[in-house]
Structure 1
Amino acid sequence: MNPLDLPFDADDMVARLRPWIECESPTYDADAVNRMMDLAAYDLTVAGAVVERIPGRMGFGGSVRARFPHPDFGKPGILIAGHMDTVHPIGTLEKLPFKREGGICYGPGIMDMKGGNFISLEAIKALAAAGMQTPLPVTVLFTPDEEVGTPSTRDLIEAEAAKNKYVLVPEPAKQDGGAVIGRYAIARFNLRTVGRPSHAGWALSEGRSAIAAMAKKILEIEAMTSDDCTFSVGVIHAGQWVNCVSSTCEAQALTMAKTQQDLDRGVAAMMALQGEENGVSFEVTRGVTRPVWEPNQPGTMAMFDIAKEICAELGFDLTGASSGGGSDGNFTGFMGIPTLDSIGVRGKGLHTLGEHIEVSSLPERAKLTAALLMRLQ
């Protein structure tokens, strides 16, 4: 049987995806992420996998590793790597409930990236139900902390990838439905200003505001953005009393760079901002970094060519390009392991209250994944 003829039913898939989406799993809520991992572990077990729960660390939730039965069980095969954490806090379902409107389905994390993880499992189940044996053994690894740079599971992902010949990452497809064959570097920085406190209403001039100094630094940081290296500040915490001049302010910045050279220059520029001005010190420390995954690696391109042939049979042209955004594919691609990223669902609005997928992409992407699992050798 041709895997492209497998009988995926979009309506049925939507119904069974719903529990995953309605199990909210923001990264910083370890208990919530673990509840999502419970759901995934159960579904993987029902699908026939040997499932392991890997405890979390550093305050994050745990991971799930599932290995499917195969004559070459334990030998290098295909790793499907995905994350189950989302950027949406508990309670987002009140504003962004799971709902279907025609060919569109909404919900927190449905595009990034529970939909892609779900269709990967659907592909494996459909192949097994049809009595089709993949040439290579398949392992699925779901992790809890991708949205904050994968600080607690990078070594787990790399160790698992090193045991396999190929890595598939079902992150959401690009806007044109295309795949990702390389990724820009992503570096994070922790920022801190330290000033001098005073009573804001009685002795304002005696204080040195850490908030005001941080505000100036944010403008300076974001003004360094270029086409090849971007800078943005997305988190800021300071102050407790409005009648107190703030003595400390903390923030987080993110840099995206297209090449290692761009990244090195960007890091140097950030670190050079440190110092003291008008009685307020500014400190910069490095956070987690996703390395540059250089595009056009031979192994990755061979995988892409296979995927492109499959998509032609499905009736569309699969494009492939290097991309920003960052994913765990940065790590496996950087290691030189053939990696095909963004083969997950089509949709729009990821990380927003309009996050949604195209329902038709559920069977489409399940067929693509199933065919890849059958053709990679």
Structure 2
Amino acid sequence: MTNPLDLPFDADEMLAGLRPWIETESPTFDPVAVNRMMDLVQHELAALGAITERIPGRMGCGDSVRATMPHPKMGQGGILLLGHMDTVHPVGTLTKLPFKRDGNICYGPGLMDMKGGNYVYLDALRKLMAAGVETPLPVTVLFTPDEEIGTPSTRELIETEAKRHDYILVPEPARPDGGAVIGRYAIARFDLQTRGKPSHAGWQLAEGRSAIARMAKAVGQIEGMTTDDCTFSLGVFHAGQWVNCVSSVCDAEVLSMAKTQELLDEGVSRMMALNDDSGDVIMEVRRGVTRPVWEPDQPGTMAMLSLAQEIAGELGIEITGASAGGGSDGNFTGALGIPTLDSIGVRGKDLHTLNEHIFVDSLVERAKLAAALYCRLGA
């Protein structure tokens, strides 16, 4: 059998394949754009001989693509490659952050989070098939459109699919030290609205009750609740249309991260306690989507990490394992107790910014890791 570590991976070839993925911008809130990305990846999967399914989007989100890779046991449970194709970068970001290589660095919106990892793990399947290597377990691929907003429309799809499989691979970007994620903190989202009383800001200012002013006071209060183990961040703020009008409505969104379920429950209680209709301006707090705590050190996941570390040793690199903040769809599969190895994708820096980039040498490194995982899981 061909050693998967000897497969002919080539960084230049991989970057050429990645370029159209990155230049097909796919922000979550633009389902038409996301679906263009799904068109692209569905075509590539079909070209590999996979049986592909297009699962229609809902809740205003784009479609998902599920692909069953060729295998004597295709359709049965085995390994699930789980990734998202949506990004946080709006269409047009390419003008500020074009796909560009500079030595060992390559830039592009969504390249680190997480199109680079998705491509690498798909390329590993491509090379294995070209070499005639049959993996011990069949592989199913599921790419989704809404991870960046908490996976409101595809959580049930992910959990249902994951339950059919023995192992879950989530090629989110590697941790800063290049390590994998073997557990994740809980993430809770909240939708806030203040409602006041409008008035003309110049003629009858005293008659108005500003929803903006009330929400502004809440920002410091909410972010002031942050501790090392439970954080709160108000990241979206929408209000006002006319500067000469006292704003009567203000909307905001808050993200909370907690290291344990107990801390999450406490954080949720503190947020919900901000509901207040006693004054001239009403504060309403509604709970949004939540990612459950994925407890670390589960035996199946630790066995996957041990295998990845064995492979890494053969590659001359080190892969650590740790819990992490920043939710992913691995929260769902890990919380279900299904062996899950997360953040095994490319190495890079500055995801979610206009300096998002990957380290080019991580492409071949991670492709070899992926190929070996496919060949050794279930062997």
TM-score when normalising by structure 2: 0.99
Counterpart residue identity of residue 131, structure 2 = A
Instruction: Report SS of the residue matched to 1:275.
Output: coil
Q: Deviations over 1:1-26 (max 9, x none)?
A: 21111110111111111000000000
Q: How far did residue 276 of structure 1 move?
A: 3.4
Q: How far did residue 278 of structure 1 move?
A: 4.3
Tell me, in whole angstroms, the C-alpha distance in 2 between the residues paired with 1:138 and 1:326: 24
What is the number of residues matched between the two proteins?
377
Name the structure 1 match of 2:145: 144
Q: How far did residue 79 of structure 1 move?
A: 0.2
CA RMSD of aligned residues (A): 0.7
Name the structure 2 match of 1:65: 66
Alignment of 1:166-177 (within 5 A): 166-177=167-178
1:198 matched to 2:220: no
Tell me, in whole angstroms, the C-alpha distance in 2 between the residues paired with 1:311 and 1:131: 23
Tell me, in whole angstroms, the C-alpha distance in 2 between the residues paired with 1:241 and 1:205: 17
Counterpart residue identity of residue 315, structure 2 = L
Instruction: Report SS of the residue matched to 1:173.
Output: coil
Name the structure 2 match of 1:348: 349
1:128 matched to 2:129: yes
Tell me, in whole angstroms, the C-alpha distance in 2 between the residues paired with 1:33 and 1:342: 22
1:336 matched to 2:359: no
Q: How far did residue 70 of structure 1 move?
A: 1.2
Counterpart residue identity of residue 153, structure 2 = S
Q: How far did residue 277 of structure 1 move?
A: 5.5
Counterpart residue identity of residue 229, structure 2 = D
Unpaired segments ≥5 residues, structure 2 = none
Q: How far did residue 74 of structure 1 move?
A: 2.2
1:26 matched to 2:23: no
Counterpart residue identity of residue 116, structure 1 = G
Instruction: Report SS of the residue matched to 2:112.
Output: helix
1:90 matched to 2:91: yes
Tell me, in whole angstroms, the C-alpha distance in 2 between the residues paired with 1:144 and 1:163: 21
Q: Deviations over 1:277-328 (max 9, x none)?
A: 6411101000000000000000000011000100011111110000001000
Tell me, in whole angstroms, the C-alpha distance in 1 between the residues paired with 2:70 and 2:349: 35
Unpaired segments ≥5 residues, structure 1 = none
TM-score when normalising by structure 1: 0.99
Name the structure 1 match of 2:359: 358
Tell me, in whole angstroms, the C-alpha distance in 1 between the residues paired with 2:17 and 2:73: 30
Q: How far did residue 270 of structure 1 move?
A: 0.4
Name the structure 2 match of 1:13: 14
Q: How far did residue 72 of structure 1 move?
A: 1.5
Tell me, in whole angstroms, the C-alpha distance in 2 between the residues paired with 1:233 and 1:339: 30
Tell me, in whole angstroms, the C-alpha distance in 2 between the residues paired with 1:47 and 1:215: 53
Tell me, in whole angstroms, the C-alpha distance in 1 between the residues paired with 2:13 and 2:77: 33
Instruction: Report SS of the residue matched to 2:308.
Output: helix
Tell me, in whole angstroms, the C-alpha distance in 2 between the residues paired with 1:46 and 1:347: 29
Q: How far did residue 219 of structure 1 move?
A: 0.8
1:119 matched to 2:125: no
Instruction: Report SS of the residue matched to 2:174.
Output: coil
